[in-house]
Chain A
Amino acid sequence: MENILSLLIWIPILGAIVVAFLPRDKDNLIRYTSAAVTGLQFIIAIVLWRKFDPSDGSMQFMERYEWIPSLNISYILGVDGLSLPMVLLTGMLFFIGVFVSWNIKKAVKGYFSLYLLLDAGVVGVFLSLDFFLFYIFWEVMLLPMYFLIGMWGGPQREYAAIKFFLYTLFGSVLMLIGILGLYFTCGKTFDILLIMERAPEALNGVLWWGMSAAKVIWVLVFIGFAIKVPVFPFHTWLPLAHVEAPTAISVLLAGILLKLGVYGIIRVNYGIMPNEVYWFAGGLAFLGLVNVIWGGLCALAQTDLKKLVAYSSINHMGYSLLGMAAVVAAGAMNGGDLKAAQAGLSGAVFQMFNHGTISAMLFILVGVVYERAHHRDIDGFGGLASKMPVYTGITALAFFAGLGLPGFSGFVSEAMCFIGAFPVFRTIVILSTIGILLNAAYFLWAFQRVFFGKLNEKYKDMEEINGLELFTVIPLAVITLFFGIYPGPYLDLIKATMDQIIEKVAFVATYASL
């Protein structure tokens, strides 16, 4: 188990190759193989979690191999409290996603081998500690996604896919420039941990075109990640990609790929340039506010159920941004308010996990009704509650989780983001609380239009949600409820790592004020 992290990455790659060599017409064999591969990966992720020491906030299970010594490129992997929950989420959602993809009929082999490649890319990004490796996985993730949307998607799939691709590529080019900037200023190394150590000093006072190099790098890298989150105004690829993508891909897109953005900002921007966090936090909080309100208002206006859920993602990630901005509360100039910093940062990290489970649930449920009715027009249903009580019940649960009802995990993380950001960004937080109302408005209004009222005669033979579909949703529902009632286990897992990040940001502030 020494190379447990490599296993997490290479098992799906191996799986992708195996699937690629399976006979083309054996659809079920391909499906079961994919399920086995992702299942195995999930089990390894669980083993990793059980072996992980939550009291240690630094990197664990590190693997380090020389790769291209002439350029100081190495193969470095590691996991800490920030990445571990995301790895677990990835393992789970990719496993569930196989079953959500069960009814894919077209080119099953191609689909699943790309699917497994995507899996490897995502896990790779979460685990790599070398920028070169990080970037390769970032791109590896992009390509399968492009094809999965472009070939298995809805009517506008090609437009959606190219848009997704170009948007992300634009971001990754900027990110690459930022990475190269770090490479050259920090002594020609791609080692993220080494850069973390060196950067504050190495970047101190360096000017590029009259601008602080650290700030330039911050913005370049931030845009790369912001597109993934997505942060307004880089968000318009998301609704389109979601609407066109097949259900399982939407689930993964919202459930994990968006999280790479928040993960990247915390890992790279916060970890390497803690000083600039102070400079950017106000902007981050403001962008959070815009995401919350803009996403919420757009969601309210949608008539396509899937697009509504897509915009709700923009809205929900806004809370995460708010929470992230709260870290600066720990700085000396803000009175060293450790409580707020802890609440905010942990809230943000918790929120990305919770949004992962909740939005995954929402997309699966939208897929269920689309499968039967072949449309997603909110006004085109009506009265489904009297025909499909189980489906209605579980959708109600997902919607209530989405609107931040206490008892569900989303409430805990949203509340923590708000409480954390409040002392420093009072006005912004107060304005953002309007989001709580918007959440409730768009979810309940949509719920009423789809499920309440008289049953639409067209759907009097609509089938109830089936066993396979329930199997994909119930674990997510259970997790959402569990962490809503008892968030302790999750927060304990990330606590030490969060404290390290906060300490770093707070230390810089004390250091700067001396």
Chain B
Amino acid sequence: MIESPMITFPLLILFLPLISFVILIFFGKKLPRQGDWVAVGSIVTTFILAVYLFVQMLTSYDANFSHGASLSWIDMGAFKIDLGILVDNLTIVMLLIVTLVSSCTHIFSLEYMKGDVRYNRYYAYLGLFTFSMNGIVLADNLISMYMSWELVGVSSYLLIGHWFEKDSAANASKKAFLTNRVGDIGFFIGIMLLYSAVGAFTFAPIFDSISGGEAIAGMTLTLAGLGIFMGAVGKSSQFPLHIWLPDAMEGPTPVSALMHAATMVAAGVYMCVRLFPIFTADALTVIAYIGAITAILAALTAITQNDIKKVLAYSTVSQLGFMVLAVGTGVYTAAFFHLLTHAMFKANLFYCSGSVIHSMHHALHEAHDHDTDPQDMRNMGGFREKMPITYYSMLISTLAIAGVPLFSGFLSKDAILAGTLAFAQQNPVHFLLPLLGFSAAAITAFYMFRLIFMTFHGKPNMKNIFKDIHESPKEMTGPIVLLGALSFFIFYTLPSNFNPIKDKGWFKDLIVPRNSAVPGSLTANEIAEYAHYAHYLAMGLSLFVAAAGILLAVLMYQRQSISSEKLSNKFGFLYHWSYNKFYFDENYNRYLYQPFLRLANSISWLDWEFYDKYFINGFGKLTKSFSKISGKFDYDGIDQGLVDGFGRVSSVSGNFLRNIQTGRLQNYLLFVVAGILVIIIAQAF
């Protein structure tokens, strides 16, 4: 393998989007077409570079391939921070995902964002995002990962709030940033715990120290791991910090596809995969439960949502829960596999929804209807005949997410569920994990087909606009077709090294699980073996639940032989819980935000109205009355010339206001200098 491109290409992939950001922020308005070609050009270049790296990876066929380079950022002697990049198979696959989806989003947006008020800013922010995301992917140490982590948060803030004139968008962007910061606090505490024990920020020495078992172990290591995982809870929108992601749908839909579905929210999972060796068994158990709870809660919420993007948003949360569950049960390469397949089909689902919304917008505009919500599925129906490309592509991706064989999601979800099942077989107390996992899988199949049926099948619900519904232009259908195709299994099971005799696909060959660094953990081989035993049972079960979910959706929304209304009436309170997203926002608002604001207000009141007004000014009053007495004392003629420390204070406070108007500055200077002299002389002799 050629040495240098393995470092220079990743660096180009990292910095090209940043250059595009800088150019567009400063000169975007002055460039032809507001500079969108700069952004598209730079991102497509990074994609081509990533493809090159990917092909190199496939042909070199080295599961242990790893390259790195770093430079000293801070060097205080003992305290040092080196920033560097780490390029291995994991990095290359992730770079490919990011640059591919980012390229698609850039191209898709050419049409979708046409004529937007802040078109150049939009493309600039996309560049900033791609830069920061690649920064996370390439980081070889906790500091640069944390830095990119926060920068990703900012680009998300800027893009969610792209239409900031809308209060809902401004609120959503703030909520996203702040919720993420809660997670980041944990991340940073985790970094400090690790650093104070190990004395390094770079991954490799941290892993070494942990496997040594002396620098850090037991509870401290568990807490460090959970702290770092908190970062992932925020970014990957896990329970209990998942509340920001559905609101993030206020951003433009291509942004939702890129960031809030395919890549940014997957950063948390990527980080867990990258740092898997540091998690202790206890930490992993917590991680597994967080993932399982997230998967089921979000899936249950998705059932009743009517906004097409909200359904997809909750489905993203739920799928991220699956990935986290996989990390927790030890099959972390399965988590990464699902990250990969999910990035493709979920990005596509969002593009398709974007295509539908775009069309709805247009049609509503033609009908001069500005009140109808273009994202509400109850206003759709029957779009299949009008938008065949969107429909078929979306259907393929839906089959993938539902876990139907021959589609990519089946492979990865199956790997996760097998791992979870194996984990529970080894630790029967954790039987809930596979139970929640399989239930969430069934619900996924159900709500995704509900979406398909409500949007594309049946009769059009708004006949007046139906005639104006049309297929989107090729800038939009291009990415849709490409990513739809990538939902087929074949792309993930192609042999690596272009060697047709290999029985495993490239992914399994090249992304190999490693042992945990924590002494006493199960080895990667053991985990793989247990998962292998559970595999057939898991496959059977997952086929069954997918079929059951789809069947129920067909009965309710296609055949309508089961009335959804009756069902929701029957299970009224369950329906309301789901429809209201389990009241997380309301409860957080009542029990966290409001008390917090009240606390801030009372502290501020205490500070300003009480402490300062009464306590501090009380001193002033005291001194004033004191100085009156002392003035009288003085006046009575004991000694007028003696100025002591106290007298100085009182005389200044007493006389100062009167003397301001004279403004004779030299007097004051003289006075102060003389005062000091008098004190010194008084003290010295």
Residues on A lying within 8 angstroms of B by beta carbon are 71, 110, 114, 117, 132, 135-136, 139-140, 143, 147, 150-151, 158, 162, 165-166, 169-170, 173, 176-177, 180, 184, 233, 236, 239-240, 294, 297-298, 300-302, 338-340, 342-343, 346, 383, 385-386, 393, 400, 405-407, 411-412, 415-416, 418-420, 422-423, 429-430, 433-434, 436-437, 440-441, 444-445, 448, 451-455, 486-488, 491, 495, 498-499
Contacts and interface: CB of A to CB of B under 8 A. Distances in A.
A236 B191 CA distance: 35
B604 A301 contact: yes
B603 A139 contact: no
Contacts of A400: 154
Given A140-B669, A165-B656, A342-B78, A453 B165 contact: yes
B414 interface: no
Given A170-B649, A301-B600, A339-B199, A495 B684 contact: no
25 contacts: A117-B665, A139-B672, A151-B660, A180-B683, A297-B599, A298-B604, A300-B597, A300-B604, A301-B601, A301-B603, A338-B79, A339-B79, A412-B74, A422-B195, A433-B188, A436-B181, A440-B181, A444-B177, A444-B178, A445-B174, A452-B165, A488-B74, A491-B74, A491-B75, A495-B77
Interface string B171-203: 100100110011011001101110110010000
A143 B669 contact: yes
A429 B601 contact: no
A406 B189 contact: no
B147 interface: yes
B597 A405 contact: no
Interface stretch (B42-50, B370-378, B605-613): B605-613
B611 to A, nearest CB: 7
A429 B603 contact: no
Interface in B627-685: 645, 648-649, 652-653, 656-657, 660, 663, 665, 668-669, 672-673, 676, 679-680, 683-684
Contacts of A393: 25
Taking each of B74, B150, B660, which has the highest tally of chain A beta carbons within 10 Å of its own beta carbon?
Answer: B74
B151 A452 contact: no
A134 B492 CA distance: 73
Nearest to A429: B192
Nearest to B593: A441
3 A-B pairs closest in CB distance? A406-B147, A301-B604, A452-B170
A433 B185 contact: yes
Nearest to B150: A406
B188 A436 contact: yes
B1 interface: no
A418 B181 contact: no
Contacts of A117: 665
Contacts of B680: 71, 180
Contacts of A418: 188, 192
Given A236-B611, A298-B600, A342-B79, 11 more contacts: A166-B653, A169-B652, A173-B645, A176-B645, A239-B608, A298-B604, A393-B25, A405-B154, A420-B79, A433-B189, A452-B164
A418 B652 CA distance: 42
A174 to B, nearest CB: 9
B205 interface: no
B73 interface: yes
Given A298-B607, A453-B165, A423 B196 contact: yes
A405 B128 CA distance: 14
Contact of B195 (A114, A419, A448): A419
Interface of B: 25, 72-79, 143, 146-148, 150-151, 154, 157, 161, 164-165, 167, 170-171, 174, 177-178, 181-182, 184-185, 188-189, 191-193, 195-196, 199, 597, 599-601, 603-605, 607-608, 611-612, 616, 620, 645, 648-649, 652-653, 656-657, 660, 663, 665, 668-669, 672-673, 676, 679-680, 683-684
Contacts of B657: 158, 162
A117 B668 CA distance: 13
A294 B603 contact: yes
Contact of B146 (A147, A406, A422, A444): A406
A184 B685 CA distance: 12
Majority secondary structure of chain A interface residues (helix, strand, loop or mixed): helix
A309 to B, nearest CB: 14
A343 B79 CA distance: 6
A84 to B, nearest CB: 17
Contacts of A495: 76-77
Contacts, number: 179
Given A297-B600, A383-B165, A441-B178, A236 B656 contact: no
Contacts of B78: 338-339, 342
Contacts of B672: 136, 139, 143
A498 B164 CA distance: 46
Contacts of A302: 604
A298 B610 CA distance: 13
B669 A110 contact: no
A386 B162 CA distance: 11
B177 A411 contact: no
B192 A422 contact: yes
Contact of B676 (A135, A405, A448): A135
Given A436-B181, A453-B167, A162 B74 contact: no
B20 to A, nearest CB: 16
Nearest to A447: B174
B164 A453 contact: yes
Interface centre among A151, A173, A177, A393 (most CB of B within 10 A): A173
Contacts of A412: 74
B483 to A, nearest CB: 31
Contacts of A499: 77
B620 A166 contact: yes
A418 B620 CA distance: 37
Contacts of A405: 150-151, 154
B178 A437 contact: yes
Contacts of A140: 669
B175 to A, nearest CB: 10
Contacts of A436: 181, 184-185, 188
B73 A488 contact: yes
Contacts of A440: 177-178, 181
B95 to A, nearest CB: 21
B603 A407 contact: no
Given A166-B653, A342-B77, A147 B663 contact: yes
Residue in A301, A340, A418, A488 with the greatest tally of chain B CB atoms within 10 Å: A301
Given A437-B182, A488-B73, A294 B607 contact: yes
A400 B184 CA distance: 16
Max count, chain A CB within 10 A of own CB: residue among B78, B199, B597, B605: B78
A143 B665 contact: yes
B73 A487 contact: yes
A79 to B, nearest CB: 21
A269 B221 CA distance: 37
Contacts of B673: 136, 139
Contacts of B164: 385, 451-453
Contacts of B656: 162, 165
Contacts of A415: 143, 188
A498 B611 contact: no
Nearest to A420: B79
Contacts of B611: 233, 236
A110 B663 contact: yes
A151 B676 CA distance: 27
A340 to B, nearest CB: 7
A487 B604 contact: no
Nearest to A444: B174
Contact of A297 (B77, B147, B181, B604): B604
A393 B77 CA distance: 38
Most buried by A among B182, B196, B648, B683: B196
Contacts of B663: 110, 147
A137 to B, nearest CB: 11
A169 B651 CA distance: 12
